[in-house]
Structure 1
Amino acid sequence: MENILFEDLEINNELKRAVADMGFTEATPVQSQSILPMLEGKDMVVQAPTGTGKTCAFGLPIMEKIDTEAKHVEALILAPTRELAVQITNELMKLGKYTAGIRITPVYGGQVITRQITALKKRPQIIVATPGRLMDHLRRHTVKLDNLKYLVLDEADEMLNMGFREDIDTILESASESHQTVLYSATMSKEILDITKKYLHTPEKVQITKSEMTVPTIKQYYLEVRSENKIDLLARLVDLGGYEKGIVFCNTKRMVDELALEMTARGYLSEGLHGDMNQAQRDRVMRDFRNRKIDLLIATDVAARGIDVKGIEAVFNYDVPEDLEYYVHRIGRTGRAKAEGISYLFVTRRDMWRLREIMNYTKAKIEYMPIPKVAEITDIRVRKALSEATALADDGKLSLYRQGIEDFLSEHDTEITILDLAAALLLKDVGLSDLKDIEERPRSREKGAIPTSGNARIFINVGKLDKLKKRQLIKLLVEKVGLREREIRDISILEKFSFVNIPAEYAKETLKKLNNMRLDGRKIKAEISTGKQGKKKKKAF
């Protein structure tokens, strides 16, 4: 489906003018596939990741259809976090810039509830809320949903992950029966499907395909690095790119704290962001990041949900995300509004199988990048220091220092030239003496080498989407390959591919036979996995 132009939409001129002010002319895939069905009043289930323009996808239809004369709540938008609720509110206010009479109120935890009650007394037509705080208002009867016309669940999967299922049920059951419901989610879990079946009526289904998941204006690179060298690598990439606003993603709160301290000690303006911080701390960090008082925001995935900061130049995946969807969420923080962005993925030896998973999932080309050498970093730092020194020289304030250098050289019997002295002072100033080339492990081959002993981990390009079951895979390996059932271990069936352990001595023959087979018409591709497949762990934040 081709993307639509906002100018061609049947919406009022005030909205078109507001969209133009925001710099948008062509709708994103999720907007192109969502706006028209929503304008037609259909319930919708939309599977799309963060950073694809979802707010405008549901915001435009709501702003077009809202009754500006209404004195009750007509539209409710639920979001998992305060940050996302604020972001949605700001976007809606931009859309309503030229539309008189629309009142929008955000309600979320961490803000004094009496202030929200005062705002609610002004009878907003649109409420943007987090589930927990909305439940407080429903119990106090300061919010009523009897006349609700539009209900949006944004990032529904994240709300469920945060334990809001009962609240969502209560809210949906409190709403009027005739409202339109639209659900957005990055994943389609059983719980999401249960909510869809229970509360939505013959919904229109939209799925942003894998090829549309990553933004083409984002250059994606991966670097193979040992765990102990990650900090040095991060510092070098920041220096090399001259980045003044970047986000670094870690998998755990502990790593966020440790890395923020280490990067600060190295002279980089860094702050951490994670779920153990109170709201005041998080607000301060985000305010400093927006105001460029921080160069690097170091965050966990969940804490970074809803962050929408303009001008993010680079995203650093310090840890490979444990969930595939999080990679898309992460890199979507840069390259927004068709601007160019760049992302780096730090990969250790044990992460190589997850790199392959990400590339298969997103259908994106993640290019290999060698680790920057000392010579490259030296050149960057020297040029920066010389540029700053040139600016000082132009001020004409160096006469005292020139005299001091001349006196020093005349008093000491030395063969050191002024050029040598300048180079020594530069070495001291830019701190190059401690730089050493980071040892880069040999690049992993596209296909893993067949082990000569122990077990071999086999990657197979069929999975749950092909309706593959464990029993079926065992039967295939026993009947078609000739393995015995007791030799087949640790089977993992994922969405689009699978893993299985077999004795290394049978690996070569197994690969040969599997690669000449078809499963329900699909040609099987099998190879040695470059890393051990593990179970997904629950995310810490």
Structure 2
Amino acid sequence: MTESFAQYNFQPFIQTALKKIGFKQPTPVQQRLIPLISKGKNVVGQAETGSGKTHAFLLPIVNTLDPKVQGVQAVITTPSRELAYQIYEAAKQLLESQAKLIVHNYVGGTDKKRQIEKLGHLQPQLVIGTPGRVHDLIKEHALDLHRVHYFVVDEADMTLDMGFLKDVDAIASVMPEQLQIMVFSATIPPKLQPFLRKYLSTPEIVKISNKTVISPTIKNWLLSTKGKSRNELIYKLLTMGEPYLALVFANTKTRVDELTDFLRSQGLRVAKLHGDLTPRERKQTMRAIQNLDYQFVVATDLAARGIDIKGISLVINDEIPRELEFFVHRVGRTGRNGLDGTAITLYSPADDAQITELEKLGIAFQPKVFRDGELVDTYQRDRRIHRHKQQESLDPKLRGLVKKEQKKRKPGYRKKIRRAISQEEQRKRKLERRNRH
């Protein structure tokens, strides 16, 4: 039986908001998490990007916020400003008809003094923000958390990687003991375990894996650089078709700058996204991308973790990410909502080990090569291994003949060897037919 949001008995204003947003059926992660969170369980959730986990925690939290209580009842932290803005916008959609329920967004790069002044007059029921700014407001005694019921740590592994886990720890330490904590993460690295043990008592661990590692709507291609310039190859890939919106991933900020400068020098209108941009620059760039002022975007992995850039039809990996789990996040930026997408990964022989590890994770690549200005199918990347296995499966006598044929001989001798192989195969087939009778 198909599940619907009606079974959760959310308040009427939430049901109305869901209809307006166009949400009809809960995703698998929502089906697993909403009942647990509604029952007051501490949760550790592992889910892929685009799984719907944001609404999995927002819906049950918003459903229980009390407009009569003028104080913070829920805090949600996330490591990047873009992610905080996205959760904030999702929360505002749900609270559109509830003027008495207030949600505020607190991130770095905004006017902290003004935020402190406003908090002195009115405390919101729901707080969403980056760990550093939320912690700053607590230290200034501006944010009062003594009535908090819910604490959500979103993208916990990214929070750890970016050095914000100390701030999250400090935030949790000033909250009431009777607290429901929800931690969401693509992976659970060992360095995250002490925090989980410190604050989460017997949590429900929910891991939702996609049925396929990469959506079947995505063509996942592998292109050998063969010693050619990556800049030139990427320019060729971007201009050989007409992508609606193309996203190129690089591993470092320096490489993003270098590649952006090159593509711009070739006449392309290119946006870039990385951590060194000022908050104003990042916000302006995101708005311009959403408005389709740019057809091409070059970014670090920050853009792969939850930033919702709609309409991406092409993803190019300038390099394989250092953390292999980021590969799925990158590729998952395209082929969304049932639309077709293409992901192209550039690689060199030095990347063979990483490609093999990705294949072990269940990621299938289709090798491609440039031919007459087009990308066409080519041989398997590990063709030598396959050839070796194929030869091992041959009859020992035939294998010996094949080895002889591989040696450098006169053309007439090669014909003789091929003829001998053919005759040997015919002889074996005759024997098999006789044995059947």
State the TM-score, normalized to the length of structure 2. 0.81
Secondary structure of the residue that 2:302 maps to in structure 1?
Answer: coil
- After TM superposition, list the pairs within 5 Å mapping 1:453-472 onto structure 2: none
Q: CA deviation at 1:163?
A: 1.5
Residue aligning to 2:67: 68
Residue aligning to 1:320: 320
Q: In the superposition, relative to structure 1, how do residues 124 and 215 fare at CA in structure 2: closer, same or farther (>3 Å)?
A: farther
Q: In the superposition, relative to structure 1, how do residues 284 and 226 fare at CA in structure 2: closer, same or farther (>3 Å)?
A: farther
Offset from partner CA, 1:81-110 (integer Å, 9 cap, x none): 111111110111122234442211010110
Q: How many residues align?
A: 387
- After TM superposition, list the pairs within 5 Å mapping 1:168-179 onto structure 2: 168-179=168-179
State the TM-score, normalized to the length of structure 1. 0.67
Residue aligning to 1:244: 244
- 1:444 matched to 2:381? The reply is yes
- After TM superposition, list the pairs within 5 Å mapping 1:195-206 onto structure 2: 195-206=195-206
Residue aligning to 1:127: 127
Q: In the superposition, relative to structure 1, how do residues 360 and 443 fare at CA in structure 2: closer, same or farther (>3 Å)?
A: closer
User: Is this contact kept in 2: 1:275–1:303, CA < 8 A?
Assistant: no
Secondary structure of the residue that 1:228 maps to in structure 2?
Answer: coil
Residue aligning to 1:81: 80
Secondary structure of the residue that 2:251 maps to in structure 1?
Answer: coil
Residue aligning to 1:40: 39
Q: In the superposition, relative to structure 1, how do residues 6 and 287 fare at CA in structure 2: closer, same or farther (>3 Å)?
A: same
**Matched residues in 1 for 2:72 and 2:384: separation?**
57
User: Is this contact kept in 1: 2:135–2:167, CA < 8 A?
Assistant: yes
Q: In the superposition, relative to structure 1, how do residues 86 and 230 fare at CA in structure 2: closer, same or farther (>3 Å)?
A: same
Residue aligning to 2:166: 166
Q: CA deviation at 1:55?
A: 0.9
Q: CA deviation at 1:152?
A: 0.3
**Matched residues in 1 for 2:339 and 2:90: separation?**
18
Offset from partner CA, 1:232-257 (integer Å, 9 cap, x none): 33233333431132211001112111
**Matched residues in 2 for 1:73 and 1:176: separation?**
12
- 1:114 matched to 2:51? The reply is no
Q: In the superposition, relative to structure 1, how do residues 10 and 373 fare at CA in structure 2: closer, same or farther (>3 Å)?
A: farther
- After TM superposition, list the pairs within 5 Å mapping 1:426-441 onto structure 2: none
Q: In the superposition, relative to structure 1, how do residues 332 and 303 fare at CA in structure 2: closer, same or farther (>3 Å)?
A: closer
User: Is this contact kept in 2: 1:104–1:125, CA < 8 A?
Assistant: yes
CA RMSD of aligned residues (A): 2.6
Mean CA deviation greater in 302-311 or 70-79: 302-311
Residue aligning to 2:296: 296
Residue aligning to 1:90: 89
Secondary structure of the residue that 2:181 maps to in structure 1?
Answer: strand
Q: In the superposition, relative to structure 1, how do residues 193 and 17 fare at CA in structure 2: closer, same or farther (>3 Å)?
A: same
Q: Which amino acid is 2:153 matched to?
A: L
Q: CA deviation at 1:206?
A: 0.7
Secondary structure of the residue that 2:369 maps to in structure 1?
Answer: coil
Offset from partner CA, 1:103-124 (integer Å, 9 cap, x none): 1101011001123234433321
Residue aligning to 1:25: 24
Offset from partner CA, 1:185-212 (integer Å, 9 cap, x none): 1111122222111101211111122645
Q: In the superposition, relative to structure 1, how do residues 372 and 305 fare at CA in structure 2: closer, same or farther (>3 Å)?
A: farther
Secondary structure of the residue that 2:221 maps to in structure 1?
Answer: strand
Offset from partner CA, 1:152-189 (integer Å, 9 cap, x none): 00011111111123222211110111111000011111
**Matched residues in 2 for 1:104 and 1:182: separation?**
19
**Matched residues in 2 for 1:114 and 1:216: separation?**
49
Residue aligning to 1:330: 330
**Matched residues in 2 for 1:106 and 1:193: separation?**
28
Q: Which amino acid is 2:115 matched to?
A: Q
Q: CA deviation at 1:367?
A: 2.6
- After TM superposition, list the pairs within 5 Å mapping 1:2-21 onto structure 2: 4-21=3-20
User: Is this contact kept in 2: 1:93–1:104, CA < 8 A?
Assistant: yes
**Matched residues in 1 for 2:102 and 2:366: separation?**
47
User: Is this contact kept in 2: 1:315–1:331, CA < 8 A?
Assistant: yes
Q: In the superposition, relative to structure 1, how do residues 137 and 231 fare at CA in structure 2: closer, same or farther (>3 Å)?
A: same
Offset from partner CA, 1:449-472 (integer Å, 9 cap, x none): 899xxxxxxxxxxxxxxxxxxxxx
Secondary structure of the residue that 1:244 maps to in structure 2?
Answer: coil
Q: Which amino acid is 2:162 matched to?
A: M
Q: CA deviation at 1:76?
A: 0.2
**Matched residues in 1 for 2:133 and 2:34: separation?**
28
Identify unmatched segments of 5+ residues in structure 1: 378-437, 452-541
Secondary structure of the residue that 2:127 maps to in structure 1?
Answer: strand
Residue aligning to 2:218: 218
User: Is this contact kept in 1: 2:123–2:144, CA < 8 A?
Assistant: no
User: Is this contact kept in 1: 2:50–2:306, CA < 8 A?
Assistant: no
User: Is this contact kept in 1: 2:367–2:381, CA < 8 A?
Assistant: no
Residue aligning to 1:191: 191
Q: In the superposition, relative to structure 1, how do residues 371 and 273 fare at CA in structure 2: closer, same or farther (>3 Å)?
A: same
Q: CA deviation at 1:266?
A: 1.5
Residue aligning to 1:459: none
**Matched residues in 2 for 1:180 and 1:69: separation?**
21
Secondary structure of the residue that 2:116 maps to in structure 1?
Answer: helix
Residue aligning to 1:360: 360
> Percent of counterpart pairs with the same letter?
34
Q: CA deviation at 1:339?
A: 3.5
Residue aligning to 2:432: none
Residue aligning to 2:274: 274
**Matched residues in 2 for 1:22 and 1:255: separation?**
38
Q: In the superposition, relative to structure 1, how do residues 244 and 210 fare at CA in structure 2: closer, same or farther (>3 Å)?
A: closer
